[in-house]
Amino acid sequence: MNSRRILFSPRAVRRLRGALLGLLAGLFVLSAATARAEVQFQAQVDQAQVTPGDPIHFTLILETTGAQINDLNPTTPNWGGLSVLGGPNSSDQMSYDSQSGRRMVHTLQWELSATRPGRYVIGPSQVNVGGRIYQTRPMTVVVAAAPAQTLAGSGEPILSARTDNADVNRALEGRLFLRATVSNNNPYVNEPVIIDYTLYNDQVRLSRVGQSVGNIQGILHEELFHAAAITFQTVTLKGKQYSTAHMYRMALTPSKPGPVSVEGYSMEGVLPLSQRRGSNPFGDSDQFSNFFGGAFDDPFFGGGIKVRIPSPPIQLNVRPLPSAGQPPNFSNTVGDYTLRATLDRRQGSTDDLFTLKLTLEGRGAIELASPPLFPDSKDFELTGQSAKPDKEPRSDGIGGRKVFEYVLRPKHAGGLEIPAIRYSVFNPFSAKYVTLQTEPMGVVVTPGKAPLPPPLPSAQAPGSSQPATTYHELHYIKHLREFHPLRSDRLLESMAFWLLHLAALTLLGLAWWRNRQQARMDPARNRRAGAWRLFERRLRAIRQRMAQGSDYPEAAGELDYAARAAVADRFNLSADGLTRPDIERLLLEHSVPHDRVQRLCDLIEQCAALRYAPVGAADGEFASCIDEIATLLREALQE
């Protein structure tokens, strides 16, 4: 009663109110300090004007002062058509001063590039800091046309390798570049085009570190080859000698007519620089030394210069397929193909399904080939179909084979026929439509045991390319008397499952530990437990010595001792004073049958007697003695 009175006294209430006010004031000050947090979010590019292939470094810098903010994730901006070569590389800096408090600078950097001149706008990035959205301004990068570089004497445009260093770029002009060879600049729709990229090098030492293919959208592209290592060959081009290496091969399959421009393949590498004076990435030391003087001695250059080798965009003028002569059932398959049909068997019953395989093979974008239509048939209905393409690169382009499987069910018994299948394709090499056709195939079908299925609904009748469902073969629904909802929870994800394992493992560990402890504290137990093992070891040694030609009298003595020692170990006694009556008594007391005890003791005595027998007189006898003693002892010791 007394304490209750003190708690609710006016003085106590005043104290409580004061404490609450103090707490509120503290919270206000804390929130004011938090609200004082300043955030700056900005974007930067290192170069606002570049030439095609030049690297552009785009950086997002988020600076916060006076607030502790974690998990800052600015959104990735829209690159506006620029290619991302690398990044983002992030870094964080943190400092603290008494006035502004904690200061954090979070930086993200990307490396970008453009292969074509133009004006590129990098979109804004956003970040959420403490519930407030901050946004950067869009950045504009102008990619100006570079002074036209052409392959020496040919007029073919090239893009030389680029680094961050203008002097190195000048030195690299016309000396390190990728050249693209296009198999056909005027392909038809759905006709694959093969593009090979070859690296041309005029005495520049280069370590390749990576490769990439530009952004290709709306056109089917596929890598056919990429070089695992650079292997140079020497060629002479327009009177100039280059080391060349085939780096990359890809196939493009345009799907729409009209002009198409595709960003190409590019490489990244390092021009290795060593600390040794006069060593530079260029084979001819004079030219490079003129640019850099003693720069190679600078430790800054010790790791080498990163270089990017772009390739010019690929320009294709895609031709539409000719409308003249186009067959009515043409399904846009383009290529130089052959068609053949095989059937899994020519005999069966109406219970059987037959599998018809149509193999389309040849040159072209085989994966785009659509399945041939199975025609109306009075003898067979189509119950399922599938297609498996098996594409393979060829020296003259891409191609391969595509196998279409049709699962057919006979409609009746008798001599049936699988009709001829016609398939129209456009051959781009002869620029003509070709209709491929298989031969009709005869099949002998006998009546089966199951009744014939009812006729299919007309919408799914044979002849349509859609497989029909065989409803009559489905088992009937189950009568739901009571529900047995099964747990779909994964037992392997259940904590109880693993806790049970842990508990069992703990028990096992405890028992093992207890056993070890007992073994340490009870040498007699160890001796008993190890009696048989020790006997086995001794027996092995005896047999080994016998095999090496040792005299058996000596071995017989050892066997006599080993057997007595085993019994002595089993009962924690000394082997020296153990007589036959002792052995008999001990074993009989431990329920070993009397006849076995007698036989064992006889054998041990026999061994002892053999020690004094003439050498070679009882070899066989001794060998059988060893085996019998081992058997009897094992049984006796394990009783």
Partner 1 sequence: MSRPLSLTALFLLLLALGALRSGAATTAHNSLDALAASAEEAFQNGRYPEAVRKFEQLAAQVPDPAVLYNLGTAQAQAGQKGMAIWRYLQAEELAPRDPDIRNNLRTLAPNLSEQLAIAPVLPIDWLYHHFTGNEWATIAGGASVLAMLLGAFYFWRSRRRGAWRWLTRGVILPLVLVAALAYPFAFTHFYYEDVLWRGVVVAEQTVARAGPSLSQIETDTLPVGTVIRIIPDDVGSGWYKFSYAGGRMGFVESSRVRPL
Residues that bind partner 1 (CB under 8 A): 217-220, 253, 255, 353, 367-368, 370-371, 384-390, 407, 466-467, 469-471, 473-480, 483-488, 490-493, 497, 500-501, 504-505, 507-508, 510-512, 514-515, 518-519, 525, 529, 637-638
Of 329 and 579, which CB lies nearer to partner 1 in the complex structure?
329
Nearest distance, CB of residue 293 and partner 1, angstroms: 50
Nearest distance, CB of residue 509 and partner 1, angstroms: 8
C-alpha span between 246 and 248 (Å, rounded): 6
C-alpha span between 416 and 192 (Å, rounded): 40
Of 135 and 470, which CB lies nearer to partner 1 in the complex structure?
470
Nearest distance, CB of residue 126 and partner 1, angstroms: 17
Of 232 and 513, which CB lies nearer to partner 1 in the complex structure?
513
Of 627 and 639, which CB lies nearer to partner 1 in the complex structure?
639
Q: Count other C-beta atoms under 10 Å from residue 529's C-beta.
A: 13
Of 183 and 370, which CB lies nearer to partner 1 in the complex structure?
370
C-alpha span between 276 and 253 (Å, rounded): 50
Q: Yes or no: say if 290 and 223 are a contact pair by the CB < 8 Å rule.
A: no
Nearest distance, CB of residue 384 and partner 1, angstroms: 6
Look up residue 552 and give its amino acid.
Answer: Y
C-alpha span between 522 and 574 (Å, rounded): 17
Nearest distance, CB of residue 351 and partner 1, angstroms: 13
C-alpha span between 17 and 25 (Å, rounded): 12
Nearest distance, CB of residue 147 and partner 1, angstroms: 36
Of 286 and 482, which CB lies nearer to partner 1 in the complex structure?
482
Pairing of strands 314-318, 380-394: unpaired
Q: Yes or no: say if 611 and 560 are a contact pair by the CB < 8 Å rule.
A: yes
Q: Count other C-beta atoms under 10 Å from residue 213's C-beta.
A: 18
Nearest distance, CB of residue 270 and partner 1, angstroms: 31
C-alpha span between 366 and 186 (Å, rounded): 20
Name the 3-class secondary structure at 399.
strand
Taking the alpha carbons of 233, 235, 241, 246 in that order, is the dihedral positive or negative?
A: negative
- Which residue has tokens 């006709």? 191
What is the 3 state secondary structure string of 3-25? HHHHHCCHHHHHHHHHHHHHHHH
Of 368 and 434, which CB lies nearer to partner 1 in the complex structure?
368
Of 97 and 489, which CB lies nearer to partner 1 in the complex structure?
489
Nearest distance, CB of residue 184 and partner 1, angstroms: 18
Nearest distance, CB of residue 308 and partner 1, angstroms: 26
Relative orientation angle of helices 580-589 and 594-610, to the nearest 10 degrees: 150
Nearest distance, CB of residue 522 and partner 1, angstroms: 9
Nearest distance, CB of residue 356 and partner 1, angstroms: 14
- Exposure string of 124-158, with b = 16+ CB inside 10 Å and e = fewer, is bbebebeeeebebeebebebeebeeeebeeeeeeb
C-alpha span between 185 and 500 (Å, rounded): 69
Of 148 and 496, which CB lies nearer to partner 1 in the complex structure?
496
Q: Yes or no: say if 369 and 164 are a contact pair by the CB < 8 Å rule.
A: no
Of 23 and 507, which CB lies nearer to partner 1 in the complex structure?
507
Name the 3-class secondary structure at 162.
strand
Longest dimension (CA), the chain: 119
Phi-psi domain of 200 (left: phi exceeds 0; alpha: psi -120 through 50; beta: other) = beta
For residue 370, the cross-strand partners are none
Q: Yes or no: say if 70 and 106 are a contact pair by the CB < 8 Å rule.
A: no
Of 527 and 543, which CB lies nearer to partner 1 in the complex structure?
527
Nearest distance, CB of residue 7 and partner 1, angstroms: 27
Of 206 and 586, which CB lies nearer to partner 1 in the complex structure?
586
DSSP single-letter state for residue 95? E
